Structure formats: structure tokens, C-alpha cells
Amino acid sequence: MVDALTKLGKSHLDRRSFKPIYFQLSELIQNLIEDGELSPGAQLPSERELMGQFDISRNTVRLAMDYLLKAGLVYRLPTKGTFVASGKMPYGLYGLSSFTEDMTHLGRKPGGRLLDFSVITPAPRIAQALRLSNFQQVFKIERLRLADDEPMALNTSYIPEHLCPNLSPADLEAKNASLYAIFEKKYGLMLWRSERVVEPVIARDYEVELLEVSPRSSLLLVEGTTYLVEDQPIEYVKVIYRSDRFQFSIHALRRPNQRTDES
């Protein structure tokens, strides 16, 4: 704590700069985090300590901390203080894998909590994506996904009932249960490809409570359809990720017939 205050010296703040003081303070803390001088889990100085160190107002300190919170660089624990976050997990959009597989690959302990398991008649948009006729039903499966026991995402899957007969909550409540592994091992279904759309959304009260984020936090919605090898839709999925814990990367290749000669 003392080292952090020492490194965040008053001389580093330039009151003649066009940059607001709160932004300068957030930059100083961010640089210390990115340089490894403040390690994950390290506690930051309190509001009062930062106010005294820099001769700035409480509101200025709070603006700086809010900026770092929204960037996913720090997190708060009620009554305990503000701490350096472990960083965002890289999440690629170039392979078809489950959350369980991805977290295991990243060295995190995957987990989940089953929030809803029901058989419903899907909304027309979902029925169309799954190529279902009238009155065909789906399993609706809603799960809170965890990594190292920390809430990471809300996953809602819609599965055609006729493709996975006798699917039960027990299948999904098993340790490290993976829906894709259930498709392949229990039903012999071979996954092939997926189509996904990514867009930012604002956290509603429901997501705020389950994902343990601040009200009106920015989240990432990934939505789309998963297909079997015969191009049969097997899943329509909506996943809401914490944007302070994930950063998405996209790998793309340019096809030879797309290249043009430049002159």
C-alpha cells in the first residue's frame, strides 16, 4: 500500500494538462498494473489516502476508480476496498468449443449453476433459426457460467426436443457438465459450425444480480445458431458475458479469389 502511494507521486499529476485530473490518476494506476508493479489481488490505496496524496477531491478519486472499474482493471469488495483484477480472459471467435472446454484450456476451473430447465414452444424467431415446424418444442436451458467460482456469463440455450430425447437437468448438473460433450457422447451428434453475432448491451437488474456487476454496466451479448455436420441446427444460444472479464479476438483469412491486383 505504501509502495503504491509512493509510486503515485504528486509530481506525476499535471494540472496544466488538457487531460482531466481523474483521467491522469487512472492512467497512472493503469500503467502500474500493466507494468506489473501492482499485481493481481493487490489492494489500492483508499479514497482518503489518494485524496491526501494528490490534494484532490473525493469526486475526482471516484471518477478515476469508476474508469478503472469499467475497464475491468480493478474490482471492489464491499467494506474491504478496491483491488487489482486478474485481467480479461482472451476469448477467440475462431473455433467451435464449449465454455467448459475454453475455461479448461485457459487454466481456469469451469463451473456453473442451472437456473432454468424447461420444455417450451419457442418464439417464432428461434423456431425459424432452428428450422422447427409449428408446435415443435425445445429445451430451454439457462445457466450461470463460472470460472474459478466467479460469475462470468449467462448462457441460454434452446435445443430441439426431438434431437435430444430424455435430456434431463441431471445431465447438466454433473461436475464440469458440457452441453457439447452431451451432444457428442450421449446422442452421437457431431457438431460442425456456428454463426454468431456480437453486440454490446446494458446490464438489466437480473444480470446485475447474477453476474455481480454494477447497475447499467456494459456487457457483451453473443447470439446465434450451432449446426451439426449435415447442417442441421442443434442449438440457438444467447450468452451474455461480463465485458470486464473477457476480450474477444477474431481470426480471419482472406480467400485467394478475394485478392485483387493493385496498380
Q: What is the DSSP string of 207-246?
A: HHHHHT--TT-EEEEEEEEEEETTS-EEEEEEEEEETTTE
Tell me the torsion sign for CA atoms 69, 75, 77, 82: negative
Which of 23, 56, 84 terminates a domain? The answer is 84
Q: Is the pLDDT of residue 7 over 80?
A: no
Grid coordinates belonging to 176? 464440469
pLDDT at 263: 43
Q: Is the pLDDT of residue 23 over 50?
A: yes
Same domain, 121 and 236: yes
Q: Is residue 15 part of a domain?
A: yes
Q: Is the pLDDT of residue 114 over 90?
A: yes
Q: What value does the mean pLDDT take over residues 160-172?
A: 93
pTM of the complete model beyond 0.75? no
Q: Is residue 261 part of a domain?
A: no
For the purposes of burial, counting CB atoms within 10 Å of the CB of 154, is it exposed (0-12), middle (13-18) or buried (19 or more)? Answer: buried
Per-residue pLDDT of 37-66, as tens digits, reads 888 778 888 899 888 888 889 999 998 888
Q: Is residue 218 part of a domain?
A: yes
Same domain, 20 and 104: no
Which residues form the domain of 236?
A: 89-249
Q: Is the pLDDT of residue 259 over 70?
A: no
Same domain, 159 and 210: yes
Same domain, 74 and 108: no
Q: Is residue 41 part of a domain?
A: yes
Lowest-confidence segment of 77-81, 205-209, 229-233 by average pLDDT: 77-81
Q: Is residue 257 part of a domain?
A: no
Other beta carbons within 10 Å of 227: 16
Q: What is the CATH number of the domain that holds 183?
A: 3.40.1410.10
Which of 34, 59, 84 terminates a domain? The answer is 84
Q: What value does the mean pLDDT take over residues 4-33?
A: 76
Split into its structural domains, the chain has a count of 2
Which of 51, 84, 117 terminates a domain? The answer is 84
Q: Is residue 255 part of a domain?
A: no
Q: Is residue 262 part of a domain?
A: no
| DSSP state, residue 121 | P
Same domain, 74 and 98: no
